[in-house]
A and B are shown apart, each in its own frame.
Chain A
Amino acid sequence: MRVTQNTTANLVLNNLQTIRKRTEELEQQASTGYKVSKPSDDPVSAQQILRLKGLIAQGDQYDRNISNGVAWLSMGESAMSEMGNVLSRAKELTVQMANGTNNPNSLKAAQNEMMQLRSQMVLLGNTQLNGRYIFGGFKNDTPPFDPAGNFTGTDDDIMVEIDRGAFVPINYSGGDILRGGTPPGSTGTDIIGVFDNLIAALGAGDQAAIQAELPNLEASTAQVLSVRTDLGARMNRVEGARNVLEEMKYSLTKVLSDKRDVDFMQVVSDLSKQQTAYEAAVAASAKVSQISLLDYM
């Protein structure tokens, strides 16, 4: 095969171009830290990377939802705990007053205290978090319990998504807790009603009536406790979901990094290889192009 000046010149040019192109690719990888910085670098990996990024972002969002949900649930739980305390005091008082050896003054005092405890329960029913009444159902911008103790909220559950398709209610209906359903007393113990009865009985000094309310108070305590347990269980579930999300985020990030991030050692060593190749090519071509027959004629 004949070799002319142009052949040599073209060869030199092409080879230098190839080396420079490869060097540029490596520099791009080194400066962004990504193997895949455009879809064309690796279309299949590109799609997978986008999917992984989407999953991680979704996980972050569920985490946010969970934080909000946890705030509501713990507020609810502490309100339940307070209600439990109020009911204990009410029970103490009732037992005391049911003994029969009480004078009108202590009865009056007991009645007053019972009324105080009753308004305390109503106040707890109107617990707020960030301006929302957590026991009001969907009607949570106004107090669900009026001073008379009537429930004006709704029984709807506020559902929050903690994982794809997994919803957890973060509230509890005030009507179900304190009034035993709508109408009062239909699905559980009407606690406010129990208090009303006790206040009336204490006012009338009716010992039998007072005695009769004791099992109702027991039932009330049990009701509040069961709601508290339910809220506690939900919190556990939500915290559990949060842990799962963290684990998943960790492993997804690992997979993402495998697919997307560049191995710096590899890139730097490749770059220095290309640099050496370039220097060698340039030196060789300079040497070869220097001599021709004209030098000797």
Chain B
Amino acid sequence: MSIASILDIGKSGITAQRLALEVTSQNVSNVNTPGYSRQTTVFASGTVTMERGFPLGNGVQVAEIQRAYDDFLQLQLKNESSTNGNATTLLAAMNRAEQLFNEFTADGLGKSLQDFFKAWQDLSVNPQGKPERQAVLARAEQLVDQFQRVNGYLNDIRTEANQSLEGITSDVNDQLRQIATLNSQIQQVEIQGSRANELRDKRDLLVRQLAENVGITYLEQTDGMLNISLDLGQPLVLGKDAATLSLQPDPLNGGLYKVLTTPPGGTGAIDITSIVGGADNSQGEMGGALQVRDTLVTGFIADLDELAFTLATQVNAVHSAGFGLTGSTGLDFFTAPAAMAGYSGMGGIGVNITNTNDIAAADVDPAVGGTGNNRNSTAIASIYDLVLPMSSGSTNLEGFYNAIVGKVGVAVQNAERSQSLSEGVIRQLESLRESHAGVSLDEELANLIKYQKAYEGSARLITTAAEMMDTILGLVR
């Protein structure tokens, strides 16, 4: 019946426009929701039937509620998030390490080293002098304190990096669980035919947040579920199942954590410490923490140990060959190093001499050759200028220390550059994403007017059809 079909068409118009209005209101209220992609209603005209010899559509239908989504942007954002998470972690740790080597606005280890050798120079001018001998001991104690302070602080940074793994792992576990739940929800909704837009938005956001923590790759299955795995292997999410990361102290690494995973839907823990941070521990906060803990700070500590070890060995060799004021000989000035590793920390370097008379300024027994003998103290003072074979090449002690400071500076600079670069890229990408999928209030408000007018138009249709129906009914009394 033609008038009824007008009513039907009007009704389809009203319901369609009302749905469009609901979608618009959803967009408007979610303008500030993080990760939200705007949705558009796609209309299609209704099925075509023959109406008195003419093909005519049957009103309007909502074909689809489309979500603005760019696959490639999501992929790029995921990658950059990993890099950014890594760089931020590195930068924070390196900034703290840099404070220890602050020779420019304060007096650090380098100055203490210089002062120590200067005290020996003063002693060589007046070998019997009590104040000069006292100064040598005092400067030595200061130097030892500095070594232990820097070593202790660097070890603190390592411990903190280690502990930060706890927070990161629990974050990751949380995110994996949520993604797995969303996976099953999305699958259930989409089986019924339509797209689960909000759920997908949530999942995409979670994936980006996860990527900040660990480097990942993902693949979407045909049923809408997202399978995620680590960049270098292990699966993290398989359909509805999520892996669980855990930490265990590793006796081979001084009690620091190793990272384990229980595969999704499986049992038994696998050690993933070497792959969880990506290649060279360059991805994600996890990789950053591991790099700080196992490579960067460990490197600085090793250099410090080498400096302390070489200093002590050289000074001890000359000192034990010399004689103190009262004839003592064969005494080491610093505690004899057992090994290079850990020598600059507590329980390592220390001053072995307590009596100022035992400081060996003379190279021949003073009882025989005279107490004014300063040859040994001159020899020790000259160690400062001695070119020694160190791990970075042949250089003197001061040069080696300056090289360590340079290394720290370069590490911080690299981390800064890397971080500001990846931050810049992320900003660009987010701005692109916002431009593509973000909600523009102006646009939505204009749409609001559009759909409202269309709604009024369709309502008018119904009124007109009803009046026409009344007229027809009124024809037959």
Question: A residues touching B (Cβ–Cβ < 8 Å)?
Answer: 1-7, 10-11, 14, 32, 34, 36-44, 46-47, 49-51, 53-54, 57-58, 61, 64-65, 68-69, 130, 132, 136-141, 153-154, 156, 158-161, 164-165, 167, 260, 292-294, 297
Chain A residues with Cβ under 8 A from B32's Cβ? Answer: 6
Q: Which 8 A-B pairs have the closest CB atoms?
A: A138-B370, A39-B409, A43-B409, A139-B370, A40-B412, A4-B438, A140-B372, A4-B440
A141 adjacent to B372 (CB under 8 Å): yes
Q: A6-B31, A167-B378 are in contact. Are A160 and B125 (CB under 8 A)?
A: yes
Question: B residues touching A (Cβ–Cβ < 8 Å)?
Answer: 31-32, 94, 98, 101-105, 110, 114, 118, 121-122, 124-126, 128, 362, 364, 366, 369-375, 378, 381-382, 385, 398-399, 402-403, 405-406, 408-410, 412-413, 416, 427, 430-431, 434-436, 438-443, 445-446, 449
Q: A6-B31, A167-B378 are in contact. Are A37 and B105 (CB under 8 A)?
A: yes
A165 adjacent to B402 (CB under 8 Å): no
A34 adjacent to B105 (CB under 8 Å): yes
What distance in Å separates the Cβ of A234 from its nearest Cβ neighbour in chain B? 15
Instruction: Return 19 A-B CB contacts under 8 Å, by A number.
Output: A1-B435, A5-B31, A6-B438, A10-B431, A38-B98, A39-B101, A39-B102, A40-B416, A43-B406, A46-B409, A47-B403, A47-B405, A47-B406, A138-B370, A138-B373, A156-B369, A156-B372, A165-B382, A294-B441
What distance in Å separates the Cβ of B308 from its nearest Cβ neighbour in chain A? 18
Chain B residues with Cβ under 8 A from A10's Cβ? Answer: 427, 430-431, 434
Q: A4-B435, A10-B434, A136-B370 are in contact. Are A46 and B121 (CB under 8 A)?
A: no
Closest to A3 in B: B435
A1–B101 CA distance with the chains assembled, in angstroms: 48
What distance in Å separates the Cβ of B345 from its nearest Cβ neighbour in chain A? 22
A154–B438 CA distance with the chains assembled, in angstroms: 93
Chain A residues with Cβ under 8 A from B105's Cβ? Answer: 32, 34, 37
B104 adjacent to A159 (CB under 8 Å): no
A41–B94 CA distance with the chains assembled, in angstroms: 13
A140 adjacent to B370 (CB under 8 Å): yes
A54 adjacent to B441 (CB under 8 Å): no
B435 adjacent to A36 (CB under 8 Å): no
A64 adjacent to B122 (CB under 8 Å): yes
Closest to B408 in A: A39
Other A-B pairs beyond A10-B427, A140-B128, 9, CB < 8 Å: A2-B436, A39-B98, A39-B412, A40-B412, A43-B406, A43-B409, A132-B126, A136-B370, A297-B449
A293–B448 CA distance with the chains assembled, in angstroms: 12
What distance in Å separates the Cβ of B393 from its nearest Cβ neighbour in chain A? 14
B118 adjacent to A57 (CB under 8 Å): yes
A43–B373 CA distance with the chains assembled, in angstroms: 43
A164 adjacent to B385 (CB under 8 Å): yes
B102 adjacent to A14 (CB under 8 Å): no
A2 adjacent to B438 (CB under 8 Å): yes
Closest to A47 in B: B406
Chain B residues with Cβ under 8 A from A14's Cβ? Answer: 427
A11–B432 CA distance with the chains assembled, in angstroms: 12
Closest to B36 in A: A6
